[in-house]
Structure 1
Amino acid sequence: MNKKNLRHRLSQPRTIVIALLTSLIVVAACKSNNFYSAPKVSAFRGGKLPAPPGMVYVPSGTILYKSSLDSGNVGKNISLSAFFIDETEVTNKQYRQFVNWVADSVAVTDYLNDDQYFLDIVGEDGQRRIDWKRVKRVSPLWKSNDPSIQERLAPMVIMKGARRALNEEIVKYRFSYLKSNGREETEYVTDTVPVMPIEDIWSKDFPNAQLASMDANYFTHESFDYYPVVGVTWKQARAYTDWRGKELMASIMKNSYLSGYHLTFSLPTEAQWQYAAEGKLDPRDTISGTRLTIDGKEGKKKLAVNYKQGEGTYSQDGATFTVPAKSYTPNAFGIYNMAGNVAEWTLDAYSPSAIAFVNDLNPVLLYDANESDSDALKRKVVRGGSWKDNGEQLNSETRNYVVEYEPHSYIGFRCVMSAFEMPTDQSKTRRY
């Protein structure tokens, strides 16, 4: 490959391309016509992989994992492979992009059925493929001022006071996953999830408080673009992670040498969340990476974490509700607001004794409940504490749960993506 072509390839979406290309180089080095010859191991220069947009790299490591049954128990060490995690909670702006993508999909395939929005390609499922380059020029279609489009998309739109909004019963996302029943993973299932967050969740959570302004503006107004999205269920959060992985794959498909490589996005497991929150590489380290206070005037300390300081005391941290996603100081991994702001959904089903039976390598407790199951089987682990929680909930080891279908104004989420185990200086080949 000449230098000109190499420069062109490296000018593609930088973060993912460099990360995947680096791993592919390592794999390619192992390819040889001599099956009995292995290459020497060289350490990956730089120490960590470049991260996808909006994410940070968390290297493999070990943490002390504890149970909910006894706060004084010693727990056990568990190890985690390297992964990428969002540096912030998913924001309103990011989640609106997901909602509008789903709405555009529904509009094009179910209502407009206009050839100009389709490619001359039919997929394996027999469905025509949407020309997203064309759609994105006029997205979101449901907000179009074209009278003919408005008329055909009328079933997708409802009125909320004086403004038009999406009909949550129509704007749904369909995705497939391997269903877990707690014993063995047996089948792939397809789920269809309404994607609109509950916008009036503020008044629903606090019925005797004046929060109509938050209901009307928090998800939709640009002044809240970079605040964490709330009012989403566990299934909605999981649907977003599925979509985000597919969107990222689509953005790098131009690079044929990456074709076929599967990027796995999900909610963080409970163990991944705790490891990332503590910002440390060894169980003997302290949680020194997170600054919970800053120096104010006249030598006074000021809070730099968003939580409820006491009965009726919300504002001493600089806000009465949520704060922008990049507020305060990131921890040692470069991650913002793992303590406070909004609590966060994790992938795990909740069990107070999970530590007793999960693996000590990349542990996770998966259980996909049926509609007929009791709420006890629909509980999902929530971590981190929020703007309305007291200080005890901010501890990285504190475990809570919420039923998967319950959205709240104090619960958001972030995504993780699997990363590669790159050769380190410790594992490189040396002379005897």
Structure 2
Amino acid sequence: MKKLLLSSIAFVFLLTSCGSKQKGELTGVQGKKWYPEKPYGMELIPRGSFIMGKSEEDQGKLLNAPTKTVTVRSFYMDDTEITNSEYRQFVEWVKDSIVRTKLAILADELGIGPEEGGIGDYAFKDADTTRASVYDKYMLDNYSGMGETGYEGRALSKDEDLVWNTSDYPDEYYTEIMDSIYLSEEESYNGQRTIDVKSLKYKYSWMDIEAAARASVKGNKSRKDFIRTEEVEIYPDTTVWIRDFSYSYNEPMHNDYFWHDAYSEYPVVGISWQQAKAFCNWRTKFKNDDNKSRNRQFVNQFRLPTEAEWEYAARGGIEGGTYPWGGPYVISDTGCFMANFKPQRGDYAADAALYTVEAKSYEPNDFNMYNMAGNVSEWTNSSYDPSAYDYVSTMNPNGGDSSNTRKVIRGGSWKDVAYFLQVSTRDYEYADSARSYIGFRTVQDYMGEEDSTQ
């Protein structure tokens, strides 16, 4: 009996060793193949050190940007501000998801599945359990009914296109859902049906890593204590064009700027800091959903730049430059203005633009960044503290403070004088505010790229 047992063990060992690809060597865990790629519409900002702050006279006498030598890691940055067209993609995705969710929930309540057509074509994918995987069935059996609505985690069907033409609605249930996302007749005029933009909310979760790391030494909290959930109305505040300027006729900008194709390549404005953060989360999700479908490894998150990253990118590698183009003047050798701002004695149109200009206007700096001065000011991830430079780290400095609602904006805008266009000038706005002169661009940490020589 003992010989039989030993023989069995030896046989198992033989099978295990023969089937091993490592041959007893330390080869590491092999995960998914990683396909590093340059993000679309972004430029690589190489790591480096620079003197952050005002090396020239502070004409504003704010004394909030003393010189400080800092170093930042490599990162990708959008070569332009996020445009109306790009932000509309976010809005359309949210609108599509909300409608599909409403249709799926009603189909579920009515017990209508894909086989019955109509609203059933938009039922949750797990409604047809004959085609569901073992995992889908397990999740449905064990997690159905959990969450705020009871429908969290259930997969939406995207096999059918949404129908927007009222004459083509498939049934009365579909009509009921579509009618719920529009404003009532009392709130409409000129016979136009208008989407209720307040219903366009993006909900997401994120983990407060910094808070978790600082609290870990105490050891009294679990991971879930640091998971934050946000729900943000994501449609731009178009009324900023009127509210920002009293006794000024800007109604055409309110009516047309965000949605009309004539302004597609102009920077989006009327976006709060919270909305910009929500966009970053969505952009990460949008890319990773595609990577998941291709069985590719996820990319790291898109985010707002820190104040130091923004200034480093704006300088374009030029030490001691006043503006992104390096020189101390806002007019070129040929007599042309170098950016979109309020020049001379308040002549908005002297630089050939009254409001904003297209995102790829004027010459880019040496990092190929467009409009790092003027056009629109840009949100950063950093909180504003006039004495921040005295205490932030010299390595990847960031004055992040969740309790401080004043967020740094940089670059100046179409309505600002030249002082605010300087790469070292600091300004701020409250995180929940939206303005006709504030936009944003995103960054992503650099993690390598494909070897073009192979």
TM-score of the pair, normalised by structure 2: 0.72
Match of 2:435 in 1: 408
1:142–1:32 distance in 2 versus 1, CA, 3 Å: farther
Equivalents in 2 of 1:391, 1:284: separation in Å? 17
Does the 8 Å CA contact 1:60/1:82 hold for their aligned counterparts? Answer: yes
What secondary structure sits across from 1:176 in the alignment? strand
Alignment of 1:122-201 (within 5 A): 122=136, 127-132=153-158, 134=159, 137-138=161-162, 146-147=168-169, 148=172, 149-158=174-183, 159=187, 161-162=189-190, 163-179=192-208, 184=214, 187-201=226-240
Over the matched positions of the two proteins, sequence identity in percent amounts to 33
Q: 1:207 to 1:59 in 2, by over 3 A?
A: same
Summarize the alignment of residues 43-58 of structure 1 with structure 2, pairs less than 5 Å apart. Answer: 51-58=38-45
Mapped partners of 1:266, 1:64: distance in 2: 24
Q: TM-score, normalised by structure 1?
A: 0.76
Conserved in 2, the CA contact under 8 Å of 1:345 and 1:381? Answer: yes
Match of 2:305 among 268, 272, 281: 268
Question: Please, which of 340, 343, 352 is the counterpart of residue 306 of structure 1?
Answer: 340
Q: Mapping of 1:353-372 within 5 angstroms?
A: 353-369=387-403
The answer (yes or no) to whether the contact 1:119–1:129 under 8 Å persists in 2 is yes
The question of whether the paired residues in 1 share the 8 Å contact of 2:314 and 2:324 is answered with no
- Residues 208 and 187 of structure 1: CA distance in aligned 2, closer, same or farther (over 3 Å): same
The letter of the residue matching 1:164 is R
Q: Which amino acid aligns with 1:97?
A: Q
| Deviation of 1:364 (Å) | 1.3
Q: Please identify the structure whose Cα radius of gyration is greater.
A: 2
Verify the 8 A CA contact 1:349 1:367 in the aligned structure 2.
yes
Shift of 1:173: 0.5
8 A contact 1:182–1:366 mirrored in 2: no
Q: 1:359 to 1:206 in 2, by over 3 A?
A: same
Deviations 1:103-138, CA, capped at 9 Å, x for gaps: 111111134544434434657775222244x36x44
SS state at 1:57 partner: strand
Once the two structures are superposed, the pairs formed by residues 111-122 of structure 1 within 5 Å of their partners are 111=103, 113=105, 114-117=119-122, 118-120=124-126, 122=136
Cα distance change of structure 1 residues 83 and 131 upon mapping to structure 2, 3 Å threshold: farther
Per the TM alignment, residue 263 of structure 1 is displaced from its structure 2 partner at its CA by: 1.7
Contact residue 142 and residue 157 of structure 1 kept, 8 A: no
Report the Cα distance in structure 2 between the residues aligned to 1:321 and 1:348, rounded to whole angstroms: 27
Does 2:75 correspond to 1:83?
Answer: yes
Look up the SS of the partner of 2:419 in the other structure: helix
**How far apart are residue 91 of structure 1 and its match?**
0.7
- Does residue 1:350 correspond to 2:384, yes or no? yes
Question: Could you tell me which amino acid in structure 2 is paired with residue 116 of structure 1?
Answer: D
Please name the residue that 2:409 is paired with: 382
SS in 2 for 1:417: strand
2: CA distance, partners of 1:381 / 1:182? 24
- Of 213-222 and 173-182, the range deviating more from structure 2: 173-182
SS in 1 for 2:344: coil
Following the alignment from structure 1 to structure 2, what is the Cα–Cα distance between the partners of residues 129 and 211?
A: 44
1:69-80 superposed matches below 5 A: 71=63, 75-80=67-72
Q: Give distance in 2, aligned partners of 1:358 and 1:171.
A: 37
Structure with a larger share of its residues in strand: 1
Which residue is 1:340 aligned to?
374
Task: Work out whether residues 80 and 362 of structure 1, in 8 Å CA contact, stay in contact via their aligned partners in 2.
Answer: yes
Preserved contact between residue 383 and residue 407 of structure 2 (Cα < 8 Å): yes
Gap change, CA 1:392 and 1:131, over 3 Å in 2: same
Unaligned runs of 5+ in 2: 1-21, 29-35, 106-118, 127-131, 147-151, 216-224
How far apart are residue 73 of structure 1 and its match?
Answer: 6.9
**Aligned equivalents of 1:143, 1:349: Cα separation in 2:** 46
Q: Cα gap change, 1:284/1:345 in structure 2, threshold over 3 Å: closer, same or farther?
A: closer
Q: 1:242 to 1:73 in 2, by over 3 A?
A: closer
Counterpart-to-counterpart distance in 2, 1:169 and 1:103: 11
